[in-house]
Structure 1
Amino acid sequence: MKFEVVSREFIKPHHSTPPSLRDYTLSLVDELLPTMNLPTIIYYATDNHSSISRCEHLKRSLSKILTRYYPYAGRYIKESFMVDCSDQGAEFVEAVVDVSLDDFISQTKNAKMELLNCLLPHPIDAGDEVTDPLLAVQVTAFACGGWAIGVLASHRIADMSTSSTFIDEWAINANQLLEGMDENDEYPMSPRWTSASLFPGKKLSGLPRGLPRVKEDSDDHKIVTKVFSFNKSSILRIREMARLDKSSERLPTRVQSVFGIIGKAIMDIQVANHASSKEFLVSQTVNMREKTDPPIHKNQCGNLFLVSTAHIVAGKRGVEFQSIVNLLTQSVRSEVENCKTILSVGGQVIITDGFDRLTRTLANLDSSSNLVFSDWCKFPFYEADFGLGKPVWISGINSPLGNNVYLFSDKFGEGIEAWVNLNANDMHKFQQDSNIMEFCT
C-alpha cells in the first residue's frame, strides 16, 4: 500500500478577523489540558459529482467557515496563554493511496490499525508550538474514487464537542455552496468563543502526556488498537446483566454498561498479571453544555467538561461487573450535579480540585492502573454530508495512549463501536475474555 502527499497549503479565513478578536485568551479548562490534538477521520464512498473538484470545493467552504471559527486559523502563544488570531490559516493536505476504500477499511479493521494514522496530517501530539496549526485537515483519495477527511483539532482550544460542531457546520456550508446559496445566508448554528469569560484562566500548567511529536507505528509505542462492535441486542443484554436491582425496570445507560463490560475485562487481566488485588482509577469526561444553571449553549466552543473519577478495587478473582457499572454511573452523576453550580462563585474551585485530584492519584498509581473512557456516541458525525453523500464510516486512529477506550455510535445509531487501546499482551487476553467474545460482533 502506497500513500503519497500531493500538496500542503494553509487556508485562511474568507474574511479577516476583526482586530477586537485577534487575541483569544484560554479558559481555565483549556490551560489544564495536555498537549495533544483530537483526531477524527470521516470516510465517504465514490461521489457522483465528477465535474466538481472535491478539494477545491472543500478548501473554499473551509475558508468561509474559518471566518466564524477564527481561533482555528490562529497560533497558540505558550508564554501568554492565548491564541494569536491573525489569520495564519488552517493546514490543508491532499493525499492519495493506491487501494480501494473497502480494501483499506478491511485491512485496518482486521489487522493494521496503524494505517489509519496515515490519514492524518500530523501526529496527535504535534501541538503548542508557535508553528503548529490549531486545525489541520487531510483529504485522502482512494483508488476507487472513495475518499476520507482526517481532522486534527488542537485540544488546547477545543474538545470533541467543539470539533463535532465545527465539522457539522463546515459540511452545511459546503452543501450551501453546491446549491449556489449566498455566503451571507443564515447559518443554523452560531459558535461562541467566550469560554474564558465563564472560567477565566489562571496561567496553570496542563497535565503531562509525554507523547511523541513524530509519527510512530504500533511497534514503536507498543500499543495495539482494535475495534469491538456491540449491536443493539447485545447492548440490551449487557444492560440487563448490569442492573443491580433486578426488581427495577430502570436499566443502566448503554454507555456505562458497555464501559463496564470493557473495564471488567481490562481490570481482570491486570489483576491476573499481578496475582493480587489492585486499585484502579477510571476517568470519564462529562460535557458541561446544557447541564449548567443557566445552561451553557451546546455551540459554546472551547473545552467545557469536567472529569469524573471512580476508584475501583479489584480482588484476586477480578471485579464484579455490576459494581463497576454502578461506580461509573455514580461518578458521572456526581459531576453532572457539580455542573449545576459550576457557574456560581466557587465554580473554578470545582474544576481545579477535580484536576488536582486526578493528578495526585495518577502520581501514586502505575500506568496500568489508569483507565480513560470517552463517550463520543452523541456527536452527529454520520450527518456530515459535504454535498457529496453521507459518511460510510467514522474512525479514530492507532493511539499511543494505553488503557484508553472511546466510543462511537455505529452508522445506524443503534450499535456502539468501542475503540480499545491496550499493550499487545493485554489485547491478546482481552480478545479472549468470555464477555467480550459473547457480546461483540
Structure 2
Amino acid sequence: MKVEILSTELIKPSTPTPPSFRHYSISMVDELSPVMNVPIILYYPAGLHGGISRCMHLKTSLSKVLTRFYPFAGRYMKESYMVDCSDQGAEFVEARVDVGLDDIICQGRNLKAELLNSLVSRPIGAGGEISDPVLAVQVSTFSCGGCAIGVLSSHRIADIATTSTLVMEWAVDAKILLGGDDERCVPVPVSPNWNSASLFPGQKMSGLALGLPRAKENIADHGIVTKKFLFSNSAISKIREKAMLDESDEGLPTRVQSVCGLIGKAIIDIHVANREKPRGFLVIQAVNMRERTDPPIPKHQCGNLYLVSPARSVAGDEGVEFGGLVDLLTRSVKKDVDTCKMLLSGGDGGEFIAQGFNESLKSHTDPGISCVCFFTDWCKFPFYEADFGWGKPVWVSSVNVPLRNSVCLLSDKSGEGIEAWVNLHIDDMPKFEQDSSILEFTS
C-alpha cells in the first residue's frame, strides 16, 4: 500500500480563542499520562458524500468545533506544564492511497497493522514537544473513492474519552453545516468542560516513560507487531461461562474482563514458560473516572480522567489459571471503581491516583516480575456513530503501537463482538496465535 501526501495545513478555530482562555493548565492525571499520541481511524465507503468536497467540508467543520475544543488547536509547553492556546492550529493532512478500502478491511487477521500507521500523519511517540500539534488529522482517499479519517490526539491533554467527544462533536458540526431536511434530527452540540486541573491540580510530575520512538520506524527497528483478533458475541458468551469460578457467587464476569483474562493468560504464559525466570506478573487496566465520582465528573469533561488499575500475582507451575485471572482483574477494577466515589471528597484523591501510575512504572524494573500487560477498553465509545453527513463508518481501527504486551479493545461494527488489537514482540506473536484458547475463541 502506497500513501501519497497531497497537502498539509493548520486548521485554526473559526472564532479566535479569548485571551482569558489562552493558558490551559493541565491536571495531575495529564502530567502522569504517557508522552504519546492516541490513534483512532474511521473508514467510510465511496458514494455517500453527495458530491461535496469531503476534505473541504471536514476542514470547515473542524475549524468550527475547535472553538469549543480550543486546547486541541494549541501547543503544549512542557517547561510550564500548560497548553498555549493561541490558535496555532490542528494539523490537517490530505493523502491519496493506491488501493481500495476493501483491500484493507477484507484482510482480517492477515492485515499488516503497520500499514495503517501511514493513515495517520505522525508517529505514535511524537508528542509533548512544542513543535508537535496537539491534534493531527489525516484524510486518506482510497482508489475506490472511500476514505479514512485518521485522528491523533496528544495524551498530554486527552484520553480516548476526550478524543471520542471531540470526534462526535466534529461530526455534529459537520452535519449542521450540511443542513437539509434532517437538520432538526442533528443532536445539539455539547459544551465540553476544560477545568480538570481544578479537580486534580497539577504537581509538575513526570509521565509514564514508555520509550515510544518519535520517528516513524519499521517493525524491524522496534520489534513489536500488531494483530487484530475478533471475538464474536457467541464466543464471548462461552468465554464468560468458562471464566466463572465454581465458588463464585457474583455471576458471570463482564464481557471485557473475560476477554482481557483470556488474552492476558495467553501473554503471561509465554513469559513464565521459562522456569528460570520469575513467575510474577502485573496486569494494568485503565479505568474511566467519569460519572463514577461523588459528585459525578460529567461525561463530557475533557482531559485525562482515568485511573491505572494494577493487578499483581504469581503464575503457577502450569501457568496462569484462567478463572482466577479473570477474578483478579474483576476485583482490581471493582475496587478502583468503588474508590472513584471518594476521589473528590477528601484530600488524598491525587495520592491514590498517583499510586497506580507509580506501581506501573516500578514494575518494569522489578526483578520479581517477568511480564507486564496493559489493557485499555474502548468498546463503549461511539465511534461507529460518527456521521459527518455521508453515513456512519464501516470500520474503526487502531494501528501498530510499538508498546510490548499492550492490548486495545474495540467494538466491532455490530456492537456485539470485540476486536482486540494485540501488540507483542515479533517472537511472541506466533506463540500467542497458537495458544489453544486464542485458536478456539477467535475468528
TM-score, with normalisation over the residues of structure 1?
0.96
RMSD of equivalent CA atoms? 1.8
CA deviation profile, 1:357-397 (whole Å, cap 9, x unmatched): 22223321588511001111000010001011111111000
CA shift, 1:398, in A, is 1.1
Residues 273-305 of structure 1: per-residue CA shift (max 9 Å, x gap): 455551011100110000000000000000001
Question: Which residue in the other structure is 1:418 paired with?
Answer: 420
Aligned counterparts, 1:70-109, within 5 A: 70-107=70-107, 109=109
SS at match of 2:286: strand
* Structure 1 residue 376 corresponds to structure 2 residue 378: yes
Q: 1:209 aligns to what?
A: 210
Aligned length: 439
Query: Residue deviations 1:318-364, cap 9 Å, x none?
Result: 11000100000011011111101000222111112222222223321
**1:16 aligned partner, one-letter code:** P
8 Å CA contact retained: 1:226, 1:419 = yes
Of the structure 1 ranges 360-369 and 395-404, higher mean CA displacement relative to structure 2 is found in 360-369
On the 8 A contact 2:32/2:206 being kept in 1, the answer is: yes
Amino acid at match of 1:9: E
Please say if residues 218 and 398 of structure 1, whose CA atoms lie closer than 8 Å, have aligned partners that are also in contact.
no
SS at match of 1:8: strand
Residues 408-427 of structure 1 show CA distances to partners (whole Å, capped at 9, x for unaligned) of: 00100101001111112211
Q: Which residue of structure 2 aligns with residue 398 of structure 1?
A: 400
- Structure 1, unaligned runs of 5 or more: none
Partner of 1:163: 163
Residues 33 and 156, structure 2, Cα contact 8 Å, conserved in 1: yes
TM-score by length of 2: 0.96
- CA deviations 1:238-275 (Å, max 9, x no partner) are 00011113675720000000000111111111111455
Which amino acid is 2:435 matched to?
D
Q: Which amino acid aligns with 2:428?
A: D
Equivalent pair of 1:108/1:116 in contact (CA under 8 Å): no
Whole-angstrom distance in 1 between the partners of 2:424 and 2:20: 46
Contact 2:225 2:426 in 1 (8 A): yes
Give the match for residue 320 of structure 1.
Answer: 321
Go from structure 1 to structure 2 and tell me whether the alpha carbon gap of 1:107 and 1:241 turns closer, same or farther (over 3 Å shift). closer
SS in 2 for 1:371: strand
What SS does the aligned partner of 1:79 have? coil
Matches for 1:171-320 after TM superposition, within 5 Å: 171-179=171-179, 187-245=188-246, 248=249, 250-274=251-275, 278-320=279-321
Indicate the larger mover: 187-196 or 150-159.
187-196
Structure 1 stretch displaced more, 67-76 or 43-52: 43-52
Which stretches in structure 2 are left out of the alignment for 5+ residues? none
Deviates more, 1:98-107 or 1:157-166: 98-107
**Secondary structure, counterpart of 1:257 in structure 2:** helix
Corresponding position of 1:51 = 51
Q: Which residue of 2 aligns with 1:135?
A: 135
| Cα offsets for 1:55-82 (capped at 9, x unmatched) | 0000000000000000000001111000
- Please state whether the residue corresponding to 1:411 is helix, strand or coil: coil
Q: Distance in 2 between matches of 1:47 and 1:366?
A: 56
Give the aligned partner of residue 366 of structure 2.
Answer: 364
| 1:54 aligned partner, one-letter code | R
